[in-house]
Every structure is written in structure tokens, then in C-alpha cells.
């Protein structure tokens, strides 16, 4: 890392081919609802092995569309994990339903299927599982549980594009699978998202939902030579532009290389952090292919002799862009005021939060950058033991 340069925890990787793809669209007739949207959807569906892929304006829109397609509405409950970005729970609230926070497994911070089963009620309509940091959840257990109880399984796969569970690619593991293309994610479109599904009815609902509940978009009406359209349900403007989709399609071609670099960096972290006793990477299952959106560790703050917040500040002061993913959502003021959640609801997640630290990891990092991170971690030890 160049002296004085801040190393972010993640960032996009854009090259000339990405720029050329966007410029080509800017010189074309369509900036939105044009041919590049469908081309990106087709390429994405092929990449993950899904029947349908529906592009939307961002990852939150993808989650909202998935929850809507699942038929979630007022008086329903939806099970969500607490260790996630707030959008996972917010999309349940958008639909007038109640998010039910169920604790995570201590080693991986993934949704605990045993606790999920214990929290299902007659009001439960769906389960949203989050592939935290890029590791797929236990989809065998969750699919069986959803099937047995007649629930819709939704994967918040915003971290896990390119991952797999027992040989099945992320994007095919749940009834509905939501992705994000924010600049820190596996591929970038600026903002953008996607929902994949095998279900024709889910596909139809989401395509209308992203376009105000209207049955035909501008390009479809133009092709049919008509101005007529019907709004059959209440939807939103969650459309995505053609130039974003051109960027996404260009980025998608680079995904294998991005994943290879992320996994190589993660292996390097695994190796060198084994010598630092107060840093513990999250556990990883043997039957998954991890996408490594994030490299998350737990600090043994007692052994280190400082709390996580101080470690965060000192690393940031040294230009190491660590982050924290995430404060448990049920501890956010909105959920405490509106839904009565409180400290103690999810003890595993709450205990982990005080130790969580995300280390820099992205395809633009060099081995020297990684060594800088590790040196900065070693310098934290006030006893000089490591």
C-alpha cells in the first residue's frame, strides 16, 4: 500500500471495457427499458443457472420485490436474521408485515435453522436467510423446513454471488434469490439488483412490481404499436437503466477472475492470521463455496486488552479501512420503537457484534496491501506479545 493511501474495505474494479460498454449505450437510442436490460437478465440467469432473472434498481428493491412476490402483507410475519444490513428487515416492514428476528449460529453468524423452526407461528409467511459475508446458509435444512411448513424461502444473496452450496449455485438455492450490484459487491452497476426464481408466477409479479404494477413497459408497448397499458396492482418504479445493465454485463464476464482473487486473498488471511491468537476468522462449512464479499473476524478483546471500537479507531487512523458488519438490526431504534425488539432477543448476535471487524478484501488489493493490514493488526497488541 502506498504510504498515506487509505485502503478501503472494498471497492469497485472498473476497466476500459466497462467504460466502453457504458459509452456504447449512451450513444444508442435507449437509456432505460431498452435491449440491454434483457441482455443482462439473460446473461445473469445463465451465469447462476436460474430460469428467470429480473433486474431492478438496487439490492433493496430486489428484496422488496421478492417479499412482495411471496405474498407477504399486513399481519404476516417473516423470519429474518439480526446480522444483516437493515434492508433485509426493512423490506418486510415495507409490506406491512412484522420481521421476527431469529438468532444466528456462533461460528458462522448464519441463520440457525433449529431456532427458525421454534419461532414459526400461524402468521409466518416466509423465511429470509442471509448469506452473510458470502457464505451460503444451510439451504438443505431451510428448504426442508419451508416445504414442511408451507413457507416461501427467500435468499438475501447480496453477499454471495458466485458461491454454491453442495454443488448448487447461489441464485438457485431458494424460491426467490435477491442480489445487489452496489460498488462494494461482487460486480458493480453503481446501484442495481436482481431477483432470480424458477417460478413463472413470481417472475410475472416482480416484472409488474418494478414498473408501478403495470403489465407492459414502454418498449413492450412500442413493439406492439400501442399506447394502452393496465395497472393491475400497486407497484414501484424499481426499473434499472440500460447503461447500468451494460456495465453489469461487462462486469459479469469478469466475475470468475474477481472471485479467484477474493478467494486467494482470503486464503492468505487465513494463513497469516492463524499466528495472531486474538483474531479469529468466522467459521466456514466444508460443503459450500464461499464468495468472500467480506472477510470478517472476531476479536478476542479480553486477550487483546482493548475493545473493538478502539481497535477500529486505531486501524482507521493507520489508513486501514476496516468496517463493522453489522450492528444487529433488532437493536436499531426504529425496530425497538415500532416492533418492541430489545437487547437480549438474539444473544449470539449481540455478543458477536462487540467483537466483529471486517478487514479489507477486494480484487484490487495486492499482497503488499494484505501484509499492511496484518502488520497493523499486530501493532494493536499493547503487550507486544504478537
Question: What's the pLDDT band for 220 if we cut at 50, 70, 90?
Answer: low
Question: What's the pLDDT band for 224 if we cut at 50, 70, 90?
Answer: confident
Looking at the chain, the whole-number percentage of residues with pLDDT higher than 70 is 96
The three cell numbers of residue 240 are 434499472
Answer yes or no: is pLDDT of 136 > 70. yes
Q: Which domains does the chain have, with CATH numbers?
A: 16-252 (3.40.640.10), 255-379 (3.90.1150.10)
pLDDT in tens, 228-258: 888 999 999 999 999 999 999 999 999 999 9
The rounded mean pLDDT for the chain is: 95
Helices (H), 213-241: 218-224
Degrees, nearest 5: CA angle 139-326-127: 30
Answer yes or no: is pLDDT of 226 > 90. no
Residue 160 confidence (pLDDT): 98
Q: What percent helix, strand, coil does the chain show, rounded to 5?
A: 40, 15, 40
Question: What's the pLDDT band for 145 if we cut at 50, 70, 90?
Answer: very high
Tell me which of 74, 148, 185, 205 is the catalytic residue: 185
pLDDT in tens, 162-210: 999 999 999 999 999 999 999 999 999 999 999 999 999 999 999 999 9
Answer yes or no: is pLDDT of 365 > 90. yes
Backbone angles phi, psi at 212, to 5 degrees: 65, 15
pLDDT in tens, 91-135: 999 999 999 999 999 999 999 999 999 999 999 999 999 999 999
Answer yes or no: is pLDDT of 6 > 90. yes
pLDDT in tens, 266-323: 999 999 999 999 999 999 999 999 999 999 999 999 999 999 999 999 999 999 999 9
Q: Which of 293, 52, 315, 72 is nearest to 194 (CA)?
A: 52
Q: Is 327 a catalytic residue?
A: no
CA distances from 109 to 9, 48, 262 (A): 19, 24, 20
- With beta carbons less than 8 A apart as the criterion, state whether 151 and 126 touch: yes
Please give the Cα distance from 242 to 189 (Å, whole number): 10
Residue 219 confidence (pLDDT): 63
Radius of gyration of the chain (CA): 21
- The alpha carbon of residue 331 and the mean position of all alpha carbons in its chain are separated, in whole angstroms, by 20
Amino acid at each position: 500500500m502506498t504510504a498515506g493511501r487509505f485502503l478501503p474495505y472494498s471497492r469497485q474494479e472498473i476497466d476500459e471495457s466497462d467504460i466502453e460498454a457504458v459509452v456504447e449505450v449512451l450513444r444508442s437510442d435507449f437509456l432505460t427499458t431498452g435491449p440491454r436490460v434483457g441482455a443482462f437478465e439473460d446473461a445473469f440467469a445463465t451465469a447462476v443457472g436460474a430460469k428467470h432473472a429480473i433486474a431492478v434498481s438496487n439490492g433493496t428493491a430486489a428484496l422488496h420485490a421478492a417479499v412482495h412476490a411471496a405474498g407477504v402483507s399486513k399481519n404476516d410475519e417473516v423470519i429474518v436474521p439480526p446480522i444483516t444490513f437493515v434492508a433485509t428487515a426493512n423490506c418486510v416492514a415495507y409490506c406491512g408485515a412484522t420481521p421476527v428476528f431469529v438468532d444466528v449460529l456462533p461460528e458462522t453468524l448464519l441463520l440457525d435453522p433449529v431456532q427458525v423452526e421454534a419461532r414459526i407461528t400461524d402468521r409466518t409467511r416466509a423465511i429470509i436467510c442471509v448469506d452473510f459475508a458470502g457464505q451460503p446458509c444451510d439451504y438443505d435444512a431451510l428448504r426442508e423446513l419451508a416445504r414442511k411448513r408451507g413457507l416461501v424461502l427467500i435468499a438475501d444473496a447480496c453477499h454471495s454471488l458466485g458461491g454454491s452450496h453442495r454443488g448448487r449455485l447461489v441464485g438457485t438455492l431458494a424460491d426467490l434469490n435477491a442480489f445487489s450490484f452496489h460498488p462494494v459487491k461482487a460486480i458493480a452497476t453503481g446501484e442495481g439488483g436482481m431477483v432470480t426464481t424458477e417460478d413463472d408466477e413470481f417472475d410475472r409479479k416482480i416484472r409488474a412490481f418494478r414498473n408501478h404494477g403495470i403489465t407492459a413497459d414502454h418498449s413492450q408497448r412500442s413493439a406492439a404499436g400501442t399506447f394502452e397499458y393496465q395497472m393491475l396492482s400497486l407497484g414501484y418504479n424499481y426499473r434499472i437503466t440500460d447503461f447500468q445493465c451494460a456495465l453489469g454485463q461487462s462486469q459479469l464476464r469478469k466475475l470468475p477472475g474477481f472471485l479467484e482473487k477474493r478467494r486467494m486473498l482470503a486464503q492468505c488471511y487465513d494463513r497469516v492470521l492463524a499466528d495472531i491468537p486474538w483474531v479469529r476468522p468466522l467459521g466456514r462449512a466444508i460443503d459450500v463455496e464461499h464468495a468472500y464479499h467480506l472477510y470478517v473476524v472476531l476479536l478476542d478483546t479480553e486477550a487483546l486488552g482493548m475493545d473493538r471500537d478502539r481497535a477500529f479507531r486505531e486501524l482507521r487512523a493507520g489508513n486501514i479501512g476496516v468496517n463493522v458488519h453489522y450492528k444487529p438490526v433488532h437493536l436499531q431504534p426504529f425496530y425497538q420503537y415500532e416492533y418492541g425488539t430489545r437487547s437480549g432477543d438474539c444473544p449470539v448476535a449481540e455478543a458477536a457484534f462487540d467483537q466483529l471487524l471486517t478487514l479489507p478484501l477486494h480484487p484490487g488489493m495486492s499482497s503488499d496491501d494484505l501484509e499492511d493490514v496484518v502488520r497493523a493488526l499486530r501493532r494493536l497488541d499493547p503487550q507486544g506479545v504478537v
